Amino acid sequence: MSRIANSSDSDRVRIVEERLLSDDWYILKKTTFDYRCRDGHWQRQSRETYDRGNGAVLLLFNVDRDTVVLTRQFRYPAYVNGSPDGLLIEACAGLLDGEDPHTCIRREAHEETGFVVRAPRKILEAYMSPGSVTEKLHFFVAEYDTDDRVSNGGGDAAEGEDIEVIEVRLANALQMIVNGSIQDGKTILLLQYAALAGLAALRLAGSLK
């Protein structure tokens, strides 16, 4: 049986060499290190890591309408890897860029969807691609009302964003996972979380904070 690592295991990794491969958009490094395996012997390994900072993602939900708010936008990496048009349906998300997660997700929600987020509630943190990407995501849920929408959203045009805002029933969103219309990992996680908990329970949990 494996043991959960703790802070005392920091001596399991000894950095030998770190090389900067790119610092154009984000930071790509190649690191050579010695790793102490479970049986005690040391093994030399080499890994590339892509550091784009940490991020936050939010699922907006409405209990009375049984709906969630999602976005649709072009993702070039998806386009070059099998997505016919590169358009992915996602929950609202963005990089922290020096902000705390709560501040970040309020800003991103306003920019992308036009909604003012009243009470974002953090539910978990997760590494989404730990084999090569350093990013940790902070996951939030928040209830919305139609009156909370103060603009059309659409994202930051100066950053090349062209975002469509979608309101869909939760049941339909879950079916979109099954039929392949939703293929974004963070969004699938949030929708499954909402389905397991139930939107009414998400509302109740937020009110008990």
- What integer best gives the mean pLDDT of the chain? 93
**Is residue 146 located within the same domain as residue 60?**
yes
**Is residue 75 located within the same domain as residue 101?**
yes
d(CA 130, CA 50): 10
Q: Is 6 helix (H, G, I), strand (E, B) or coil?
A: coil
User: Is residue 44 in a domain?
Assistant: yes
Residues 6+ apart with CB under 8 A from 2: 38
Predicted TM-score (pTM) of the model is 0.91
Within the chain, what is the greatest distance between any pair of CA atoms? 61
> Mind giving me the DSSP string for 3-51?
PPP-GGGGGGEEEEEEEEEE-SSSEEEEEEEEEE-TTS-EEEEEEEEEE
User: Is residue 1 in a domain?
Assistant: no
pLDDT for 186 equals 98
Q: pLDDT-derived band of residue 2, with 50, 70 and 90 as boundaries?
A: very low
Q: Which amino acid is at 34?
A: D
d(CA 168, CA 152): 17
Residues 6+ apart with CB under 8 A from 10: none
pLDDT over 50 at 1, yes or no: no
pLDDT for 4 equals 41
Q: Name the phi and psi angles at 177, rounded to 5.
A: -65, -45
d(CA 61, CA 38): 44
**Is residue 100 located within the same domain as residue 17?**
no
**Is residue 102 located within the same domain as residue 199?**
yes
**Is residue 92 located within the same domain as residue 30?**
no
d(CA 43, CA 36): 6
pLDDT for 100 equals 97
> How confident is the model over 30-85, as pLDDT tens digits?
999 999 999 999 999 999 999 999 999 999 999 999 999 999 999 999 999 999 99
> How confident is the model over 156-187, as pLDDT tens digits?
888 888 999 999 999 999 999 999 999 999 99
Q: What is the CATH number of the domain that holds 157?
A: 3.90.79.10
**Is residue 191 located within the same domain as residue 119?**
yes
User: Is residue 13 in a domain?
Assistant: yes
Select the highest-mean-pLDDT range: 1-5, 117-121, 135-139, 201-205: 135-139
Domain extent, residue 47, equals 7-51
**Is residue 19 located within the same domain as residue 118?**
no
Q: Domain count for the chain, please give it.
A: 2
User: Is residue 137 in a domain?
Assistant: yes
User: Is residue 129 in a domain?
Assistant: yes
**Is residue 135 located within the same domain as residue 203?**
yes
pLDDT for 205 equals 76
Domain boundary among 17, 35, 51: 51
